[in-house]
Amino acid sequence: MRGKITMPILFSFLFLSISSAFSTPLDYQTLVLSPLPKPHTLSWTQQDSESLTLPDPSQTPTTTLSVQLHHRDSLSSLDSTPDTLFTRRLERDAARAKTLTDAVKLAVKPNVSRARGNGGFSSSVTSGLAQGSGEYFTRIGIGTPPKYSYMVLDTGSDVVWIQCSPCKKCYTQSDPVFDPKKSTTFAGVTCGSPLCRRLDSPGCNNRQMCLYQVSYGDGSFTFGEFSTETLTFRRIRVKNIALGCGHDNEGLFVGAAGLLGLGRGKLSFPNQAGRRFGNKFSYCLVDRSASSKPSSVVFGESAVSRTAVFTPLLTNPKLDTFYYLGLTGMSVGGVRVKGITESLFKLDSTGNGGVIIDSGTSVTRLTRPAYVALRDAFRAGAADLKRAADFSLFDTCFDLSGKTVVKVPTVVMHFAGADVALPASNYLIPVDSKGSFCFAFAGTMSGLSIIGNIQQQGFRVVYDLAGSRIGFSPRGCD
């Protein structure tokens, strides 16, 4: 009898021991609940005013420049509600993600149909600014004397371009359209020049001047002369930047005059101005719901934060625009998510798969198996929170109405050589004015995963092209 009684007791002891080994307490952090940000009046500091005196060109050239960034919602109508602005943001975001994945498909399978051109001109250049989805912009002086306009800054695009008069077709922008005839530094590029040949598919007019076209995933495009011009960032002049002077610009581009491409390709601004600024730049995207402080972008040695952790840049052999990183896994509550392996994010030799970091995508997209594993781990850790209905692309939402703070499991992104612990506000975000908050990740059936700007907010993200690495500094916005 004694032996028959002992066995169940022994099994119970073993079960409890095994259970306790797998029930390690999760790590939590506090989320202070903030509402959706309200639209605010855009104001530039005196340092960013176009009335500033330019430096003496005979002085030693500056190796660092810094400018403010503002979210595109600042250009939106003040009668827009926070709910409306957020809904529009998610709509833009869906188009943006599609454009990025389409760009990869185009690069991997170059025989697919191109965007339409003008007069027989066609181009395979594809940008990330689908439906005007560039989320951050600054004010840049164009030409000599400088005429200041809003320009979208975009790490998913290479070619720099602006709207130019005379316009065959121009969308509405906040500032007067740039007139190249009124600039003493504007110069066209000839068809036979090396600069023209840098375009993926350059065109040529009857005067043997180079033409460009940048096409977007929604069918929008900009078309015109390829040229060189001087750009002015606050007090700093940067000469001989190759840019598109667009006379036919069709699509939805908000009020900005054009785009400053910050991509990795040979015609992007960082590459063109790279030698002057040490092939380094960084930005800090401030949480718009918690601070009125503007975001910023820095070019030069000052861009590299001493507190940053770095991961190597990877290269897609088929596409040079995007910044690829090695994501090796993720943790929830201090525990590695078992279903998320490095193999899910592998960039293969054909150019498929991989993980990119992008300033113009809001919500981080993970390839579907990785997202499901992450979501399920977070749901388990947040089981005490009251669930709410799905919202748009989010399938894990909570009703936090009536609360001011909650405890949520920690989330860490593990890159090769760098662990990035996210603040709670970077992954549980307000989606309406009723107290609904959602887990700000999404799954994608595409092989391409995208690290979006919601997850980047509050970090100084360093693009050290000279060192072929990307850095994350958690307190880099101070």
Residues 212 and 339: their CA atoms lie apart, in Å, by 45
The question of whether 287 is a catalytic residue gets the answer no
> 218 - beta bridge partners?
none
In angstroms, rounded to a whole number, what is the distance separating the alpha carbons of residues 176 and 361?
28
CA proximity to 246, closest of 139, 126, 159: 159
Cα 366 from chain centroid (whole Å): 15
What is the rounded distance in angstroms from the CA atom of residue 154 to the CA atom of residue 170?
A: 20
Exactly one of 154, 158, 218, 287 is catalytic; which is it? 154
CA–CA dist 4, 1 (Å, integer): 5
* Beta-bridge partners for 306: none
Which of the residues 48, 93, 358, 464 is marked catalytic?
358
CA distance 125 to 110: 11
Contact of 129 with 172, CB cutoff 8 Å:
no
Is the preceding peptide bond at 145 cis, omega within 30 degrees of 0? yes
Q: What is the DSSP letter of 406?
A: E
Residue partners of 377: CB distance under 8 A and separation at least 6: 332, 333, 335, 337, 409
State the number of CA atoms in the 13 A half-sphere of 84 facing the CB.
Answer: 8
Q: Tokens 């590695």 appear where? A: 336
CA distance 125 to 226: 14
Could you tell me the CA-to-CA distances from 89 to 75, 85, 120, 412 in Å, in that order? 13, 6, 35, 25
Is 358 a residue of the active site? yes
Burial of 312 (0-12, 13-18, 19+ CB in 10 A): middle
| 323: nearest Cα among 260, 252, 377, 270 | 270
List the structure tokens of 285. Answer: 């995207």
CA distance 46 to 49: 5
Query: Where is 296: in which H helix or E strand?
Result: strand 295-299
Residues 6+ apart with CB under 8 A from 234: 47, 48, 52, 65, 66, 67
d(CA 140, CA 149): 6
Nearest to 64 by CA among 238, 250, 248, 223: 238
Which residue is listed with tokens 């700007």?
Answer: 453
What does R_g of the chain's alpha carbons equal in angstroms?
A: 24
Residues annotated as catalytic are 154, 358
